[in-house]
């Protein structure tokens, strides 16, 4: 009585390569297909908030968090209380004026609607801003090129000789550890887009050098699968 048929080495290699290649293809499909629709899914503007993933990338939030009125700044990120409103340079101050909130940073002035928080205007100045304040229903900017006053529509900033002592200047202050922690967490959560994370998973970079090597080896198995499949097909023709 004959024993079980012996599996030829080529068939074994073909089987192992096929199973591994199938796993690789599933992984590449899961990580690659969403990238084909990145724009439609808005993956570049959607962020990863998982702390373990962010820790693997080594993303840390700055220790110092600053606030002026309802505006908080962490590094280059601006928040209106808990809502992210944009990126800008160092916060100089914020003042409320009628239905608007005017935010000044080192080189620009941002005007928001006080109720909807919609940004209405963003003006870049040719001078470095030092302070923002108000007096008699007018907004003033203390700049490296002297004092400027905003027109009624806050679209132009005109040089003026007004005494600065009479102006109420906005104050920027550092937040304490407990107050700043939610903003530090929110800051980290905007550093890694899902698009970049999927790209790193797809290429194996997320797992470091080992991940890249493993994917390269697994990709080589596709070549083995093709070669061994061709050999098996050729031998079957000769039978």
pLDDT, one tens digit per residue, over 132-141 is: 999 988 999 9
- Residue 186 is assigned to a structural domain of this protein: no
Residues 230 and 154 both lie in one domain: no
Render pLDDT for 74-124 as a digit per residue (tens, 0 to 9). 999 999 988 999 898 899 999 998 899 999 999 999 999 999 999 999 988
Inside any domain, residue 74: yes
Question: Domain tally for the chain?
Answer: 2
Q: Are residues 80 and 41 in the same domain?
A: no
When comparing pLDDT for 128 and 10, which is higher? 128
178 pLDDT exceeds 60?
A: yes
Shared-domain flag, residues 199 and 106: no
Q: Are residues 36 and 100 part of one domain?
A: no
Give the full edge-to-edge strand order of the sheet including 173-174: 83-87, 77-80, 71-74, 66-68, 173-174
Instruction: Confirm whether 76 is domain-assigned.
Output: yes
Quick: pLDDT tens for 206-216: 888 888 787 77
Angle between helices 208-238 and 9-36 (to 10 degrees): 130
Q: What does DSSP say about strands 129-135 and 138-143: parallel, antiparallel, or unpaired?
A: antiparallel
Residues 98 and 149 in one domain: yes
Average model confidence (pLDDT) across the chain: 85
182 or 4: which carries more pLDDT confidence? 182
Q: pLDDT category, 5, cuts 50, 70, 90?
A: very low
Yes or no: say if 123 and 109 are a contact pair by the CB < 8 Å rule: yes
| 56 part of a folded domain | no
What is the pLDDT confidence band of residue 146, given thresholds at 50, 70 and 90? very high
Dihedral of alpha carbons 215, 217, 223, 224, sign? negative
In terms of domains, do 169 and 200 share one? no
Among the candidates 147, 177, 207, a domain finishes at 177
Whole-number Å distance between alpha carbons of 87 and 76: 5
> What CATH code is carried by the domain that includes residue 93?
2.40.128
Average of per-residue pLDDT across 19-46 = 84
| DSSP secondary structure, 126-180, as one string | SS-EEEEEEETTEEEEEETTEEEEE-TTSS-EEE----GGGSEE---EEPPHHHH
Centroid of chain to Cα 52: 16
Do residues 113 and 142 both lie within one domain?
Answer: yes
Residue 127 tokens read as 């001078």
Quick count: other Cβ atoms within 10 Å of Cβ 40? Answer: 8
Q: Is residue 212 part of a domain?
A: yes
Question: What pLDDT score does 1 carry?
Answer: 45
Residues 166 and 73 in one domain: yes
What is the sign of the dihedral through the CA atoms of 50, 51, 57 and 63?
positive
Residue 1 lies in a domain: no
Question: Six-digit token pair at 78?
Answer: 């601006």
Same domain for 156 and 102, yes or no, is yes
Q: In terms of domains, do 208 and 163 share one?
A: no
Encode pLDDT of 221-231 as tens digits. 667 666 766 76
Is residue 233 predicted with pLDDT exceeding 70?
no
Pick from 127, 148, 177: which residue ends a domain?
177
- Express each pLDDT in 186-197 by its tens digit: 999 999 999 999
In a domain, 218, yes or no: yes
| Span of 141-155, 174-188, 204-218 with lowest mean pLDDT | 204-218
pLDDT attached to residue 38: 92
Domain around 167: 66-177
Do 103 and 78 share a domain, yes or no? yes
Residue 7 has pLDDT above 60, yes or no: no
Boundary (domain end) residue, out of 126, 151, 177? 177
pLDDT classification of 217: cutoffs 50, 70, 90: confident
Where helices occur in the chain by DSSP H, the ranges are: 9-36, 38-41, 51-57, 177-188, 194-203, 208-238
- Asked if pLDDT for residue 235 goes beyond 70, the answer is no
Residues 18 and 89 reside in one and the same domain: no
Instruction: Encode burial over 63-99: b for 16+ CB neighbours within 10 A, e otherwise.
Output: eebbbbbbbbbbeebbbbeeebbeebeebbbbbeeee
Inside any domain, residue 42? yes
Give the phi and the psi of residue 210 in degrees, each rounded to 5.
Answer: -60, -45
With cut-offs at 50, 70 and 90, classify the pLDDT of residue 4: very low
Task: Give the C-alpha separation, 35 to 203, whole Å.
Answer: 12
Q: Which residue is listed with tokens 């009624």?
A: 152
State the Cα–Cα distance between residues 15 and 21, nearest whole angstrom: 10
């Amino acid at each position: 009585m004959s024993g079980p048929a012996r599996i030829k080495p080529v068939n074994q290699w073909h089987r192992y390569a096929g199973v591994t290649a199938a796993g690789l293809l599933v992984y590449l499909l899961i990580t690659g297909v969403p990238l084909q629709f990145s724009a439609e899914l808005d993956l570049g503007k959607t962020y990863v908030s998982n702390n373990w993933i962010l820790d693997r990338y080594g993303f840390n939030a700055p220790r110092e968090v600053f606030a002026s009125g309802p505006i908080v700044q962490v590094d280059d990120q601006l928040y209106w209380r808990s809502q992210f409103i944009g990126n800008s340079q160092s916060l100089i101050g914020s003042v409320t004026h009628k239905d608007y909130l005017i935010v000044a940073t080192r080189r620009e002035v941002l005007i928001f609607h006080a109720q909807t928080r919609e940004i209405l205007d963003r003006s870049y100045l040719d001078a470095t801003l030092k302070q923002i304040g108000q007096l008699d229903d007018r907004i003033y900017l203390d700049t490296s090129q002297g004092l400027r006053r905003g027109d009624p529509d806050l679209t132009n900033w005109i040089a003026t000789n007004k005494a600065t002592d009479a102006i109420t200047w906005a104050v920027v202050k550092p937040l304490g550890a407990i107050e700043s922690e939610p903003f530090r967490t929110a800051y980290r959560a905007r550093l890694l887009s899902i698009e970049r994370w999927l790209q790193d998973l797809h290429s194996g970079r997320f797992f470091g050098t080992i991940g890249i090597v493993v994917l390269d080896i697994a990709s080589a198995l596709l070549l083995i699968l093709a070669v061994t499949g061709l050999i098996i097909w050729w031998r079957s023709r000769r039978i």
